[in-house]
Structure 1
Amino acid sequence: MYRKVFASKVFERKVVVVTGGCAGIGRALVLRMAQAGARLAVLDLDQHELDSLTQHLADHLNCEALGLGCDVADAEAVSKAIARVIERFGGIDVLVNNAGITHRSTFADTELAVFQRVMAVNYFGALHCTRAALPSLLQRQGQIIVLSSLSGFTPLLYRSAYNASKHALHGLFDTLRYEIKGSGVNVMLVCPGFTATDLRKNALVGDGSLTRQPPLAVGKVASAQDVAEAIYQGALRRRRLLVLSNVDWRARLLARFFPRLFERVLLPRISGLKPQSRR
């Protein structure tokens, strides 16, 4: 009982910044942190959706929240947004780098602009936010939470830009963790498997347009709420790496130690159906 009471107070009045917080895992995590008593700063693209979310947080969860329209790929916009958060709340205790986009197209059919956009959001977006928030996080001995993916350690077909961005996140934040060791700041990389969000529905194709195809057929799909709860529990324990239960352990094992067997047996299945180019 005492552990439960203590756990319920960990994030009370803490300032939590969530990027891409209006939908999917980001929104579910915003709601979970609000339930825990946190004060929320939500960064996303659509100000109308942000206003609606912050009003919901105030009306239903009595949560103090700030919604800021911001493209995390824009370093200057991020710097201004983080400055506003610190001005409003006095500092940042938790930064959740959640914003991300994906694509479904072969490497040969993917235009350079798509690679650049995916990296700009998934990798540089997390980099921009972390650089801007790091002084406050160090001062308050906070946490950095980074949404990676199954593809952070297991390749998936037709997602070369997405896979590359997630590998880059591991390289960046594993290094940062060592560099700030002893500072009191925790860095947690989160690797969900396939999750029921709009990310797959809004995937880009090779020419940069949105896909017209339904989401790929995949294995076990988790709910955004279940993923958010797992992240919340991981944050309570200040985990370093959180690999969620619907990530196929066989894929991890085979991809690392038996790559040829992985390519033959598991890669086609976990990658889903082959998309047609430029639709």
Structure 2
Amino acid sequence: MPRKVFTSKVYEHKVVLVTGGCSGIGRALVLRFAQAGARLVIFDLQQTELDSLLQLVRDQHNVEALGLCCDVADPLAVQQAVAQVLEQFGGIDVLVNNAGISHRSSFAETELGVFERVMAVNYFGALHCTKAALESLITRRGQIIVLSSLSVYAPLLYRSAYNASKHALHGLFETLRYELNGSGVNVMLVCPGFTATDLRKNALVGSVTLANQPPLAMRKLASARDVAESIYRGAIKRKSLLVLDNVDWRARLLARYFPRLFERVLLPRMSRLKARRP
């Protein structure tokens, strides 16, 4: 894909931290920023996958990279990891809050622990990382990129905890954007549609265990690479909101202005869970 010359230098030597960076959209973003010459920091829970990805970006893109095992839901672990990043790289230019988990279970059948775990990773994980990196981001007039979801516009059945966590992210980061007005820090919320990642495969069920059923079939899935490219281009333009083109505009329109029609026609199709509910 051709790119303008000036865009290829925007992130050269910049320090980019990606949480949940070993799979899906996170991995694709790591590779895209590595291609742009950024210095990479990757937070993930799997050391083997971290080591493999670090070797890949070093070999293929000849960039400096650091991988740290870090549970973003643990505030102390995040503080220690970010301190290590600041010590080694001197600062953070871009924070990508990508780490996330989902679940597939009705509200009535979902234990409290599932809500707590989903919020701990999806919401508090982004909060912890942003808190720890904020001073450096302000100093460097950097960027905060937050992975949200189409569920902010069109809720998905049997994902109440996931939907709630994404709404919470908007409440937090839209407020932060206003508070940072004039600081030079860009806050971009990203809302992708259905994407081919491990998020669906590794979804929790109602009892805080991984679902043992295969991922639900979707008619159209965007590739993680295409989503990452769109996010990268949105970041270059320092957008405040990026709703990707794989978010169905009809769902957004009906959910907002014709909710009953949305519930009857589109919601069952989008959720694809009624017949296979746990």
TM surpasses 0.5:
yes
1:220 CA displacement: 1.8
What pairs with 1:1-279 in structure 2 (closer than 5 Å)? 4-274=4-274, 275-277=276-278
Give a deviation string over 1:226-247, Cα, whole Å, max 9, x none. 0000000000000111111111
Give a deviation string over 1:188-225, Cα, whole Å, max 9, x none. 00000000001100111001111121212334210000
Give a deviation string over 1:22-54, Cα, whole Å, max 9, x none. 000000000000000000000000122111111
- Aligned mates of 1:22, 1:237 — CA distance in 2: 25
Letter in 2 for 1:66: L
Secondary structure of the equivalent of 1:175?
A: helix
Give a deviation string over 1:50-102, Cα, whole Å, max 9, x none. 11111111111101000000000000000111111111111000000000000
Q: What's the RMSD between the two structures over aligned residues? A: 0.9
Contact 2:157/2:273 (CA < 8 Å) preserved in 1?
no
Letter in 2 for 1:201: K
1:4 CA displacement: 1.3
Contact 2:119/2:165 (CA < 8 Å) preserved in 1?
yes
Contact 1:106/1:158 (CA < 8 Å) preserved in 2?
yes
Contact 1:218/1:271 (CA < 8 Å) preserved in 2?
no
Letter in 1 for 2:67: G
- Aligned mates of 2:255, 2:212 — CA distance in 1: 30
Count of aligned residue pairs for this structure pair: 275
Letter in 2 for 1:262: F
Contact 1:153/1:167 (CA < 8 Å) preserved in 2?
no
- Aligned mates of 2:86, 2:111 — CA distance in 1: 38
Structure 1: segments with no counterpart, 5+ residues: none
Secondary structure of the equivalent of 1:187?
A: strand
Letter in 1 for 2:15: V
| Percentage identity across paired residues of the two chains | 76
- Aligned mates of 2:154, 2:165 — CA distance in 1: 13
More off after superposition, 268-277 vs 150-159: 268-277
Secondary structure of the equivalent of 2:211?
A: coil
Contact 2:24/2:198 (CA < 8 Å) preserved in 1?
yes
Q: How high is the TM-score relative to the length of structure 2? A: 0.97
Letter in 2 for 1:211: A
Give a deviation string over 1:243-270, Cα, whole Å, max 9, x none. 1111100111111111111111110001
Q: How high is the TM-score relative to the length of structure 1? A: 0.97
Letter in 2 for 1:57: V
Structure 1 residue ranges (4+ consecutive) displaced by more than 4 angstroms after TM superposition: none
- Aligned mates of 1:95, 1:235 — CA distance in 2: 11
Contact 1:217/1:273 (CA < 8 Å) preserved in 2?
no
